[in-house]
Structure 1
Amino acid sequence: MKNKIFLYLFLFVSLICLYLFVSSNNIVKAGSEKISKLEKQVEVLKDSVQTSTLKVLDMQYFSLENNDDALAYFDHLDLENPAGYIADKLLETNAQKGDNPLVPYEGMQNDFKINKIKVLNHKWILTDFSDGKYWGELLIRYELKDDLGVDFTLVDHLLYTRSN
């Protein structure tokens, strides 16, 4: 009787070991599949990040912040953020009553005001203006003086027409 108990106990332990072996093998396979899927996703994300980085660098090409030669023009003025300072000065022209004096059109819905500003270098600015319904763009030449005054001169402009 004692031998049979040991035999049954041995068989029961063997079945448990077999079950553990098979289930751990399945767990390892599932984990390996998950890892390979995640590695593929990481590669896709790396490519996406690289593409996005190149796009951002391309968009920043015409930017005062990334143009060392243009920034050198402002070295003697002790400005921490020249592009921000110039953009603020340009936005101050919106404070005047009526249309912005740099916009050569009369507002149709409201007054034309400058919305977005891109300081390209130490001489040019590209802006967007709108009256809420109609919009356009301006190319502006500016000169930053030693007394930190800024003169703006309109170089070119366009107004988008709506086709309904």
Structure 2
Amino acid sequence: MKQRIFMYLFVFAVLLVIFQYVNAKRVFEDLNKKNEGFKVQVEKYKDSVVGLHHKLQDYSGFSLEQNEDALSYFEADGYKVEALIPYIKDKLYETNTVKGEHPLVPYTSSDGRKMLINNVKFLNHKWLIANFSDGEFWGEVLVKYFVNTDKSVDFELSEAFLYPVN
């Protein structure tokens, strides 16, 4: 009787081990299939990232941060570019607070509103482009800027464009 109990226990243990093995194998195969699907997705996303990186390189072609000659122009004068760029932006945004019409936007606004410069992009060490709006009309300006020896900044309007209202 003792022998039969051990034999039943042994058969039960073998069946349990076989069940565990088959179940683990199935789970392992399912995980491998999912992993392969994820590998395909990762490759697709890597390709997308590379494509976006190339587009970013193309779009940043006219950018002060990517232009070594323009950066060295400021550095040769003893300026720290990391501090100078925000300083120039602040000076440009200060023109929004001037009473009356905006000094860099040659268009008048409607309904008593004021044209304000919203965004700025530095093209190089001499030019920047900015967009402006009064909430209804909007456009862009191309501005020459000069950093003087006394660290003041002068702006000179080169071109301006007002988008037509639809």
Q: Check whether TM > 0.5.
A: yes
Q: Which runs of 4+ in 1 moved over 3 A?
A: 1-7
Amino acid at match of 1:103: V
- 1:113 is aligned to 116
Q: Distance in 1 between matches of 2:93 and 2:3?
A: 97
Which residue of 1 is the match for residue 98 of structure 2? 96
User: C-alpha deviations, 1:113-151, integer Å up to 9, x for none?
Assistant: 111111110111101000011100011112222222222
Q: How does 1:34-113 map to 2 (within 5 A)?
A: 34-75=34-75, 76-81=77-82, 82-109=84-111, 110-113=113-116
TM-score after normalising by structure 1: 0.89
1:4 aligns with 2:4: yes
Question: Partner of 1:160 in structure 2?
Answer: 163
1:50 partner amino acid: V
Query: What CA distance in whole angstroms lies between the structure 2 residues aligned with 1:124 and 1:25?
Result: 66
Kept after mapping to 2: 8 A contact 1:77/1:146: no
The answer for unaligned runs of 5 or more in structure 1 is none
Conservation of the 8 A alpha-carbon contact between 2:118 and 2:133: yes
RMSD: 1.8
CA contact (8 A) 1:125 1:142 kept: yes
Residues 77/100 of structure 1: CA separation in 2 closer, same or farther (3 Å cut): farther
Contact 2:71 2:81 in 1 (8 A): no
The separation in 1 between residues aligned to 2:158 and 2:3, in whole angstroms, is 104
% identical equivalent positions:
42
Displacement of 1:96: 0.4
Paired AA for residue 147 in structure 2? L
The alignment's TM-score, normalised by the length of structure 2, stands at 0.88
Contact 1:114 1:128 in 2 (8 A): yes
User: How many angstroms apart in 1 are the aligned matches of 2:61 and 2:136?
Assistant: 30
CA distance, structure 2, for counterparts of residue 118 and residue 52 of structure 1: 20
Contact 1:87 1:119 in 2 (8 A): no
Query: What corresponds to 2:143 in structure 1?
Result: 140
Structure 2 counterpart of 1:130: 133
State how far apart, in whole Å, the 2-side matches of 1:142 and 1:78 are.
15
- Give per-residue Cα distances to partners, 1:23-58, cap 9 Å, x unaligned: 111111112112112212221222222223223322
Please, which moves more after superposition, 10-19 or 100-109?
10-19
Residues 143 and 155, structure 2, Cα contact 8 Å, conserved in 1: yes
The unaligned stretches of length 5 or more in structure 2 are: none
